[in-house]
């Protein structure tokens, strides 16, 4: 079985791009071609921003709310609509947000177009529960972000809560034994009367169509919580998206066993995967803005997650939760600057690379890129060896070139039976992760972890 997996791995590494090129010449778009920019991108910004942001997580003295505010604070719809009317993020600046993402090394932005509260953060024609007719802002932030992403060369993508909508009367939720678990039972208490198809026809599908028609190229439709949406209903949505924007990528939360890639929430899987996948994470403990939450992941943690995810063939979608005024919190900006500083020097170890052929190392992680029949390995060392020697077990290919990405200091390479030993400077070039670049002869068919 392992030999088959190794063959598939080799085929994907060496022939994947050729296959994509052939398909690009035809009218059909192959999955490889559709995914190519995204798999090269490796790193994106998630933005959770809405009416709920103005509360900063606080409601009636409780301080642990966020994007679920309407549900967790048990706010009746009419009261929430009145609260939405006060939403006026006068400090919102699309150019600033996109610049922060770009300088952090992020290649795409996924912004909440409609979260579970059913409030559209764009000029939706479907109903008045949106930022133009249902708030004080009178501007379309998604239009501004889409235009700014185009100017700065980032892909514009949208999050859409598919199976949860606390504004619509026909959005049932639940699973075996847990009926209505995420439904709006305050305004719509009779769960059995809700007809999901009516909600899809009246709201979700028309909004998906307007997002794919009025906002330029959409890089990814990032669906969330499909709940009771069936495979057939999900497939119809996929077909609509493919018809409107064939190059638009769809994540796996559009319906059961559907979508172009799988999503991991707040975690990095143990092993690598040959199929496209993404880990999405918050920087503190909330997706939406919570002013009381000061439990921030460190810059080191975030950089290690980025490298770990890339070393397993995945993408890292890192979240910011802007305030009700439209400002990305300073703690998030500070961490994104640190990630950007690291990527500025070491980005080639992330962009356009794929999973390690060796799995994980005790001292750090490895990513690889196949170029002209040879393999470039990027060894990201988290724990720099105090004795100046680093072993790369399992590397049998001849090492043709070797260097440090962040230093002109020389290194030496010694081949052993079971791998290679690198002689390194005593001091690590980077306190968080130092990258050693090795070009080796041929393609490595090492172990492949599921
Ligand atoms: C959902 C939302 O409820 C949440 O507000 C946020 O938008 C997040 C990105 O997506 O939360 C989830 C969805 C799926 C899982 C966990 C949390 N899951 O499958 O484990």
pLDDT in tens, 135-149: 999 899 999 999 999
What pLDDT is attached to residue 445? 75
> Could you give the CA distance from residue 306 to residue 339 in angstroms, rounded to a whole number?
9
Q: Which atom of ligand 1 is nearest to the CA of 164?
A: 3
Give the three-class secondary structure for 404.
strand
pLDDT digits (tens, 9 = 90+) for 387-396: 999 999 999 9
227 CA from centroid of ligand 1 (Å): 11
What pLDDT is attached to residue 13? 55
Q: Roughly what angle, to the nearest 10 degrees, separates helices 31-41 and 2-25? A: 100
pLDDT digits (tens, 9 = 90+) for 356-378: 999 899 999 999 999 999 999 99
Pairing assessment for the beta strands 249-250 and 220-224 based on DSSP bridges: parallel
Asked if residue 281 has its Cβ within 6 Å of ligand 1, the reply is no
Residue 231 has pLDDT above 50, yes or no: yes
Half-sphere exposure of 57 (CA within 13 A, CB side): 17
What pLDDT is attached to residue 1? 46
Neighbour tally for 2: CB within 10 Å: 9
Asked if residue 225 has its Cβ within 6 Å of ligand 1, the reply is yes
What pLDDT is attached to residue 316? 98
> Could you give the CA distance from residue 230 to residue 228 in angstroms, rounded to a whole number?
6
- DSSP-derived letter for residue 425 is -
> In this structure, what is the dihedral angle of CA atoms 128, 131, 137, 143, given to the nearest 10 degrees?
-130
| Angle formed at CA 242 by CA 236 and CA 245, multiple of 5 degrees | 135
Half-sphere exposure of 76 (CA within 13 A, CB side): 4
159 CA from centroid of ligand 1 (Å): 11
Residues 363, 390 contacting (CB under 8 angstroms)? yes
Q: Report the nearest-CA residue for atom 17 of ligand 1.
A: 265
Residues 75, 52 contacting (CB under 8 angstroms)? no
What pLDDT is attached to residue 217? 98
> Could you give the CA distance from residue 263 to residue 252 in angstroms, rounded to a whole number?
7
Asked if residue 260 has its Cβ within 6 Å of ligand 1, the reply is no
Asked if residue 224 has its Cβ within 6 Å of ligand 1, the reply is yes
Q: Which of 225, 287, 289 to mutate to test the pocket of ligand 1 (most atoms within 8 A of CB)?
A: 225
Q: Tell me the CA distances in angstroms from 275 to 9, 215, 237, one per residue in order.
A: 10, 29, 22
> Could you give the CA distance from residue 73 to residue 420 in angstroms, rounded to a whole number?
58
What pLDDT is attached to residue 177? 84
* Ranges 9-23, 76-90, 228-242: which has the least confidence: 9-23
Q: What confidence tier does 20 reach under pLDDT thresholds 50, 70, 90? A: very low
Helix (H) or strand (E) holding 146: helix 141-152
What pLDDT is attached to residue 19? 45
Largest CA distance in the chain: 72
Residue 21 has pLDDT above 90, yes or no: no
Please tell me which residue, 8 or 214, carries the higher pLDDT value.
214
Residues in a beta bridge with 280: 265, 317
pLDDT digits (tens, 9 = 90+) for 267-282: 999 999 989 999 999 9
Residue 12 has pLDDT above 80, yes or no: no
Q: What confidence tier does 449 reach under pLDDT thresholds 50, 70, 90? A: very low
CATH entry 3.40.1390.30 includes domain 31-349: no
Asked if residue 117 has its Cβ within 6 Å of ligand 1, the reply is no
Residue 152: exposure state from Cβ atoms within 10 A (0-12, 13-18, ≥19): middle
What pLDDT is attached to residue 11? 53
Residue 4 has pLDDT above 70, yes or no: no
What pLDDT is attached to residue 2? 45
Helix (H) or strand (E) holding 144: helix 141-152
Name, in order, each residue with C-beta under 8 angstroms of 403's C-beta and a sequence gap of 6 or more.
411, 436, 437
Give the three-class secondary structure for 429.
coil
Same fold, 31-349 and 364-440: no
Residue 153 has pLDDT above 60, yes or no: yes
Asked if residue 67 has its Cβ within 6 Å of ligand 1, the reply is yes
Q: 3-state SS of the chain: helix, strand, coil percent to 5?
A: 30, 20, 45
Residue 188 has pLDDT above 50, yes or no: yes
264 CA from centroid of ligand 1 (Å): 10
> Could you give the CA distance from residue 310 to residue 199 in angstroms, rounded to a whole number?
38
Q: Which of 287, 289, 316 to mutate to test the pocket of ligand 1 (most atoms within 8 A of CB)?
A: 287
Q: Report the nearest-CA residue for atom 19 of ligand 1.
A: 265
Q: Which atom of ligand 1 is nearest to the CA of 288?
A: 5
Asked if residue 265 has its Cβ within 6 Å of ligand 1, the reply is yes
Please tell me which residue, 108 or 24, carries the higher pLDDT value.
108
Residue 98 has pLDDT above 70, yes or no: yes
Residue 5 has pLDDT above 80, yes or no: no
Asked if residue 280 has its Cβ within 6 Å of ligand 1, the reply is yes
Q: Which atom of ligand 1 is nearest to the CA of 67?
A: 5
Name, in order, each residue with C-beta under 8 angstroms of 274's C-beta and a sequence gap of 6 or more.
5, 8, 9, 12, 313, 355, 448
Q: Report the nearest-CA residue for atom 14 of ligand 1.
A: 225
Q: Which of 265, 281, 282, 318 to mutate to test the pocket of ligand 1 (most atoms within 8 A of CB)?
A: 265
225 CA from centroid of ligand 1 (Å): 7
What pLDDT is attached to residue 365? 98
Q: For all residues of the chain together, what is the average pLDDT?
A: 94
112 CA from centroid of ligand 1 (Å): 12
Q: Which atom of ligand 1 is nearest to the CA of 46?
A: 9
Q: Which atom of ligand 1 is nearest to the CA of 287?
A: 6
Structure token pair of residue 68:
């679920």
Q: Roughly what angle, to the nearest 10 degrees, separates helices 94-103 and 141-152? A: 40
In this prediction the pTM is: 0.94
224 CA from centroid of ligand 1 (Å): 7
What pLDDT is attached to residue 9? 53
441 CA from centroid of ligand 1 (Å): 43
Q: Which fold has domain 364-440?
A: Immunoglobulin-like (2.60.40)
Give the start-to-end residue ranges of the domains of the chain. 31-349, 364-440
76 CA from centroid of ligand 1 (Å): 22
């Amino acid at each position: 079985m392992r030999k088959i997996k190794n063959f598939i791995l080799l085929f994907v590494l060496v022939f994947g791009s050729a296959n994509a090129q052939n398909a690009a010449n035809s009218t059909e778009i192959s999955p490889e071609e559709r995914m190519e920019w995204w798999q090269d991108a490796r790193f994106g910004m998630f933005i959770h921003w809405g009416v709920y942001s103005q509360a900063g997580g606080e409601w009636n003295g409780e301080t642990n709310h966020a994007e679920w505010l309407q549900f967790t604070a048990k706010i009746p719809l009419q009261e929430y609509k009145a609260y939405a009317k006060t939403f006026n993020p006068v400090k919102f600046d699309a150019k600033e947000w996109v610049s922060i993402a770009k300088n952090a090394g992020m290649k795409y932005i996924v912004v909440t177009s409609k979260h579970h509260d059913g409030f559209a953060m764009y000029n939706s024609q479907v109903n008045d529960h949106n930022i133009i007719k249902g708030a004080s802002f009178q501007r379309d932030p998604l239009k501004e972000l889409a235009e700014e992403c185009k100017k700065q060369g980032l892909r514009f993508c949208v999050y859409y809560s598919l199976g949860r909508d606390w504004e619509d009367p026909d959005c049932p939720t639940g699973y075996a034994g847990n009926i209505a678990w995420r439904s709006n039972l305050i305004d719509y208490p009779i769960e059995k009367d809700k007809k999901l198809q009516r909600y899809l026809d009246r709201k979700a599908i028309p909004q998906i169509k307007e997002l794919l028609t009025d906002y330029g190229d959409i890089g990814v439709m990032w669906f969330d919580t499909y709940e009771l949406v069936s495979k057939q209903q999900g497939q119809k949505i996929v077909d609509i998206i493919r018809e409107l924007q064939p190059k638009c990528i769809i994540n796996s939360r559009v319906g059961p066993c559907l979508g172009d890639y799988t999503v991991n929430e707040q975690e990095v899987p143990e092993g690598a995967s040959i199929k496209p996948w993404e880990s999405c994470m918050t920087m503190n403990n909330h997706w939406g803005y919570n002013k009381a939450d000061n439990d921030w992941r460190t810059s080191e943690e975030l950089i290690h997650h980025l490298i770990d995810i890339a070393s397993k063939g995945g993408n890292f979608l890192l979240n910011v939760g802007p305030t009700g005024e439209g400002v990305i919190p300073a703690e998030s900006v500070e961490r994104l600057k640190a990630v950007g500083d690291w990527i500025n020097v070491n980005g080639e170890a992330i962009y356009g690379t794929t999973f390690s052929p060796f799995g994980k190392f005790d001292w750090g992680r490895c990513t690889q890129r196949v170029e002209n029949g040879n393999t470039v390995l990027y060894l990201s060392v988290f724990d720099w060896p105090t004795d100046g020697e680093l072993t790369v077990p399992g590397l049998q290919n001849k090492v043709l070139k070797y260097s440090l990405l962040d230093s002109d200091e020389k290194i030496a390479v010694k081949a052993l039976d079971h791998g290679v030993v690198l002689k390194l400077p005593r001091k690590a070039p980077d306190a968080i992760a130092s990258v050693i670049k090795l070009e080796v002869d041929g393609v490595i068919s090492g172990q492949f972890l599921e």
